[in-house]
Amino acid sequence: MDQTHRFRPTAARATAGAPGGARSRRAVLSGAALAAFWGEQTARAGEPARHSAAPPVQTTGAGPLVRLIQRVTMGLTASELQAARQLGREGYLEHQLAYESIDDSVLAARLANYATLTMEPYQLFQLQPQQVVNELIEATILRPVLSRRQLLERMVEFWTDHFNIDINKNLDRFLKTVDDREVIRANALGTFPALLSASAHSPAMLYYLDNNVSFVGNPNENYARELLELHTMGADGAYTQVDIEEVARCFTGWTLYPANAGVNAGKFRFLAGQHDNGAKQVLGYTIPAGGGYNDGLIVLDILANHPDTARYVSAKLCRWLYQYDPPAPLVSSVAATYAATGGDIRSMIRTALLKHDLAAAEPKYKRPYHLFVSALRACGATITNVNGIRSNLLAAGQVPYNWGPPDGYPDNLDFWVGLVLPRWNFGASLLNSQVNGASVDINAFFAGVPNNADALAAHIDRALFGGEMDPFERQRIRDYLLPNAPTTQRKRDALGLAIASPGYQWY
């Protein structure tokens, strides 16, 4: 498949204007302040200023409790910090792992406006595709901002990339909604074998990777290849081209009902007459002739229990939750947990976050979706519609479900460093009511805080950084708020600057 992507950030795009047209004078002023802010920070680190690249990593690492909140949630808030302090590290993690017991009625009431989220494929096929796409994307933007089930949302994002499906591919405009509901969300904190099986039976996945037209005598290798390389064993796994061909034969006939099939339209279907029933050899295992549908199940079982799968999935999970280059002992520990628990995802998360020194983990660079959501959460933003947030995500290169290749949005620093300006702009735009549909009540945010630079800067530190903001950056925010008493507009600008500050780009 084509490995290029329409939204890849580049240094050239970093010089473009703000999302949605010309920037206001205030946005320009904030941008100038930010350029100075980042320039001084890089100078402190002995580096040249690089306004089209990532800011330097914070030199003062977060403590273990704040770092845990940063890894478990889509953005620290005062309420999450309070809960974590009350429950302790293990108690807080267990609280988030047991997401079913967390009341999420506020989010549920908001999502009730999106009728397509609960529809069956035959119902979705009767609607305009853009309605279905828009409602799924909008719900995916709202969920991490409003949900109290934060770890679930983090893992939904992780598995969405792991089992990536481009929503722009014809029938997947309808089918991805069902995949999100019944594959990713239903299994995000379950077991990996169950998640793998659900994905293999997902009409959205089979259609995306062309397995819907993989039949005896003419097997299509796309799904088989990505099943081995991306979903289970990894690119370095112990499989060969012959294994890919044999796996493709095992999945012939795994397809979906056509759109005119009544209530079955768009659901999984096994066509026995289109399946290759010959004997097969997969990873050293003999799959006897005549197995039919069970051939695919055998392959899934082999892969789910293969040590390469345990290693690959564990390493990827550690990169997501710990740091970009996780220590080998950590990966080995998580892989051992995978093997011991049959791929229980919650147990793997416990090992990744509690069995090693989380405070020693290096900060990670927030992807645009993470950055914008964390800012909305920290500020207590009111969202009436997501149009402006979506436009900003488009400018920053990460609209949900819009990654074309099967490998998902990258989880690495190098990919995202070339597009800084939309990140700079978002805080100033949000605080100055320039993000359509999103607003911050600045008086509510600073309610009860004395109107002087020291108190206001300290409150920003607590709300956005859990009290662990880089001292230099906090001093800059404090200085920006002078002279006392700062105006409401000055407070808006200071909060916007904090969102765009070097330290807030990392977690």
pLDDT score of 136 more than 50: yes
Q: Is residue 241 part of a domain?
A: yes
**Residue 291 and residue 332 in one domain:** no
- Preceding amide of 279 cis, omega within 30: no
State the pLDDT at residue 26: 43
**What are the CB-based long-range contacts (under 8 Å, 24+) for 191-194?**
191/341, 191/342, 191/343, 191/344, 191/345, 192/304, 192/309, 192/313, 192/338, 192/343, 192/345, 193/300, 193/301, 193/304, 193/305, 193/342, 193/343
**Residue 100 and residue 34 in one domain:** no
**Residue 56 and residue 164 in one domain:** no
Angstrom CA distances, 257 to 246, 295, 312, 502, stand at 24, 20, 33, 50
Per 3-state DSSP, what percentage of the chain is helix, strand, and coil (rounded to 5)? 60, 5, 35
Residue that is last in its domain, among 268, 284, 304: 304
**Residue 341 and residue 387 in one domain:** no
What pLDDT band is residue 375 in, cutting at 50, 70 and 90?
A: very high
**What are the CB-based long-range contacts (under 8 Å, 24+) for 50-54?**
51/14, 51/420, 52/11, 52/14, 52/15, 52/418, 52/420, 53/11, 53/417, 53/418, 53/420, 54/365, 54/413, 54/416, 54/417, 54/420, 54/505
Q: How many domains does the chain have?
A: 3
Q: Is residue 5 part of a domain?
A: no
Least confidently predicted of 354-358, 369-373, 465-469: 354-358
pLDDT score of 23 more than 50: no
> Who wins on pLDDT, 35 or 47?
35
Residue that is last in its domain, among 269, 304, 339: 304
**Residue 317 and residue 289 in one domain:** no
pLDDT score of 52 more than 90: no
**Residue 352 and residue 293 in one domain:** no
**Residue 280 and residue 158 in one domain:** yes
Q: Is residue 459 part of a domain?
A: yes
Q: Is residue 71 part of a domain?
A: no
Q: What are phi and psi of 425, to 5 degrees?
A: -70, -30
Q: Is residue 66 part of a domain?
A: no
What pLDDT band is residue 59 in, cutting at 50, 70 and 90?
A: very low
**Residue 219 and residue 230 in one domain:** yes
- Preceding amide of 483 cis, omega within 30: yes
Domain extent, residue 375, equals: 12-61+364-505
**Residue 99 and residue 233 in one domain:** yes
3-22 average pLDDT score: 32
State the pLDDT at residue 188: 99
**Residue 472 and residue 445 in one domain:** yes
**Residue 354 and residue 479 in one domain:** no
Q: Is residue 39 part of a domain?
A: yes
**Residue 174 and residue 281 in one domain:** yes
DSSP 291-347: -TTHHHHHHHHHHHT-HHHHHHHHHHHHHHHT-SS--HHHHHHHHHHHHHHTSBHHH
Angstrom CA distances, 309 to 191, 208, 232, 348, 410, stand at 13, 22, 5, 13, 20
Residue that is last in its domain, among 304, 328, 343: 304
pTM above 0.85, yes or no: yes
CB 434 within 8 A of CB 27: yes
Condensed to tens digits (0 to 9), the pLDDT of residues 468-487 reads 999 999 999 999 999 999 99
Q: Is residue 3 part of a domain?
A: no
Q: Is residue 68 part of a domain?
A: no
DSSP 355-378: SS-GGGSPP-BPPHHHHHHHHHHH
pLDDT score of 90 more than 60: yes
